[in-house]
Structure 1
């Protein structure tokens, strides 16, 4: 067991750009791809991950200082450090039982495939840390290791179900065949969906407004590079940058929005041959079944609506952090809220206006739940020595992924009656989401006939 764990830790240390392509080679060979084709597709996938990481990192490095400058200008003084996802991933991996999440996720996935409860094979094992973090938070609230694994196991099941129902919608957005996203951030879509349905009844919000619509209406101002320049320039003004700094930030944002779709094409180039091989393999052995490959969220990163929404919400998030009573976290490392933008993209079908409105409504949820978990995360960090938290301060993540799921089910594990009621309501919303998204997928299929 120790030898196996050391090998897994070695592979994981290489990161998603190496780990996920390695898994894809295994899957490709199992589906009878030729070795050279499987290796070529896997390397292209690795290049896509590296390219996307470079562009995302470049954008974060550009926008982060502007957000910090804006926060300083507003005089915000809050005592919870926003460590972002990397800090909490470090905390998750510091848990001595973290390794056991791998057999739990793989076992549940295989069992659900065999019993036809899912058609999604989740190869995004690198993001197993999200389930580990959920278990760590449950443990921190309830003190129960069995309940920690039960809640994490439920998360595995739910993300596979969402992988199934979201697949057609993700394909329409990305045009990448045979894949879906099994990242657990899609769980926040359960909260966004009722709000999006409410928008159906508000005049002016029942029109689909995406990046392409903007191009038709306002021409060159909706081109990726021009739109990026405008958004970056406005953020520079909010941050009280000099003219030179503002112009540079505008060009950096323009570069980011221009490069995202280019890099996203590499995902299609890498995954299309694998999708064809897996589809043919399933057709021969499981007549009538369609298998989807579950991957990380960057397969959708070519959709500009994600980045426009995330950047527009930066000053909004900082302002809300300053004025919301009871909030104690200063958004910093997690200021680019992909935890909201990605599920909003799926729920709205890429409706940019609705995505931004959903962000305005639900950003306080992220801030308050991040504040709630801060003492628990800080205590765990000090117990494990995984993170160095200065005296008198706490640490959390301002845009904690799927915050409502984590909050509700930690409360259930703690025996809270309010948490149990919340879980019943949440699962009811989950059932509604699954049912309606299936109907939407069928309607899209009928329209194409």
Structure 2
């Protein structure tokens, strides 16, 4: 057991930029890619992951101090420290049974592929910590390790099914064939979708309005570099920065927004040969199936709409943290909230106006869930020594992926203590999930029919 744990932890410790390309190279060789092509694709994918990670860190380092300055200017003090996703990952891996989640994920994926219950091969094994995080939450509520793995298994299945349902829309939005997203952040779309249905009933919000339309209406002011510069100026003013610091922040924001689409091209360059090889291999083996590759969200990072929504969400989240009843977390490390922007992008199909509305409506959810999870996250951090905390200090995350799903599925067992709120939220999530699933499948079917008619 200990040897297996050490092996798993070693490979996962390499990070997504190394671990995921290794999985992709192995998968490429299995589907008969040439060795040089598989290695080239894997290294290019590693470059893309590293580039995207560098840009996000660069953007976070630029904006987070400004966000903190805004809170200090408002004289706000909240008791729960925001550790961000990296701290949550560290704490999750400190759970004694964490290493068992890795073989569970692989086994479920293989079984579902063999029995044709999914068409997604999940190459995003590095993000197995997300399943561990949910399991840790279940253990904190129920004290049952068995229930923790049952809920984690349900999450794994739902991630694969969500990846199947989203694949067509993701291909339309990203332009990358044969890939989909297996990250649990897409789960929030289940509750965003019913709200988006209501927004679509407003005529002006029903019209297509993506980043391209924004450029048509605003001209140079909607160009990535100019828009980033303007947003940086706004942040600098809100943070009461000096002129030089404000201009520096503006240039950094302009740099980040300019380079995100550039990095995404490397995802396309890496994934195109892999997805083609996988499709050819599966078509030869199963004439009625096309296998797709499931990945983390960064290959969607070329969508300007995502970054506009992310930047919009920073002041929105900060404002909510000031007066939101029940919130005790000070948003900082998780202030760049992609778990809010990405599902909004997928639900709306990139309609930037509806995205901003959805991000505004659902920003409080992350603060509430972050507050609710703080006690058990703090207890685990203290008991394992994974994170050094001062006496009495609490820690959590202000951008927990798939917050509604994670809260509902882990806290639903509180119904036995007379708390029915998590059960009600779980039912609402499942209802939204089924509605959203129907919409995604109908879109894929209608587009398929349209293509056949035009042939």
The CA deviation string for residues 249-291 of structure 1, in whole angstroms up to 9 with x for no partner, is 1111111011000010000000111111110000100111011
The CA deviation string for residues 176-209 of structure 1, in whole angstroms up to 9 with x for no partner, is 1100010111111111111111101123211121
5+ residue gaps, structure 2: none
The CA deviation string for residues 127-179 of structure 1, in whole angstroms up to 9 with x for no partner, is 00000000001111111111111111111011101101111111111111100
| 1:440 aligned residue | 443
Structure-1 separation of matches of 2:362 and 2:189: 11
The CA deviation string for residues 235-260 of structure 1, in whole angstroms up to 9 with x for no partner, is 11111111111111111111101100
| 2:20 aligned residue | 20
CA contact (8 A) 1:344 1:358 kept: yes
Q: How many residues align?
A: 449
- 2:398 aligned with 1:427: no
SS class of match (1:81): strand
Give matches, 1:194-343, under 5 Å: 194-343=194-343
Structure-2 separation of matches of 1:309 and 1:5: 39
Q: Please, which moves more after superposition, 373-382 or 332-341?
A: 373-382
Structure-2 separation of matches of 1:19 and 1:321: 36
| 2:72 aligned residue | 72
SS class of match (1:294): strand
Structure-1 separation of matches of 2:86 and 2:236: 26
Q: Please, which moves more after superposition, 94-103 or 390-399?
A: 390-399
TM-score (norm 1): 0.98
CA contact (8 A) 1:177 1:272 kept: yes
CA contact (8 A) 2:404 2:425 kept: no
SS class of match (1:392): coil
| Aligned-residue CA RMSD (Å) | 1.2
SS class of match (1:91): helix
Structure-1 separation of matches of 2:264 and 2:359: 24
Shift in Å at residue 441 of structure 1?
Answer: 2.4
The CA deviation string for residues 57-92 of structure 1, in whole angstroms up to 9 with x for no partner, is 111111111111111111111000000001110110
SS class of match (1:204): helix
Structure-1 separation of matches of 2:18 and 2:204: 46
5+ residue gaps, structure 1: none
Structure-2 separation of matches of 1:69 and 1:426: 36
Structure-2 separation of matches of 1:390 and 1:191: 37
| 2:184 aligned residue | 184
The CA deviation string for residues 420-443 of structure 1, in whole angstroms up to 9 with x for no partner, is 343233222211111111112233
Structure-2 separation of matches of 1:333 and 1:262: 25
Give matches, 1:382-421, under 5 Å: 382-414=382-414, 415=416, 416-421=419-424
Shift in Å at residue 325 of structure 1?
Answer: 1.9
| 2:56 aligned residue | 56
Q: Please, which moves more after superposition, 406-415 or 210-219?
A: 406-415
SS class of match (1:205): helix
CA contact (8 A) 1:238 1:315 kept: no
Structure-1 separation of matches of 2:428 and 2:62: 40
SS class of match (1:290): coil
Q: 1:420 to 1:312 in 2, by over 3 A?
A: closer
Shift in Å at residue 106 of structure 1?
Answer: 0.9
CA contact (8 A) 1:374 1:394 kept: yes
Structure-2 separation of matches of 1:360 and 1:327: 16
Structure-2 separation of matches of 1:237 and 1:67: 11
Structure-2 separation of matches of 1:116 and 1:428: 24
TM-score (norm 2): 0.96
SS class of match (1:282): helix
Shift in Å at residue 445 of structure 1?
Answer: 3.8
CA contact (8 A) 2:8 2:102 kept: no
CA contact (8 A) 1:231 1:312 kept: no
SS class of match (2:81): strand
Structure-2 separation of matches of 1:31 and 1:121: 12
Q: Please, which moves more after superposition, 200-209 or 143-152?
A: 200-209
SS class of match (2:204): coil
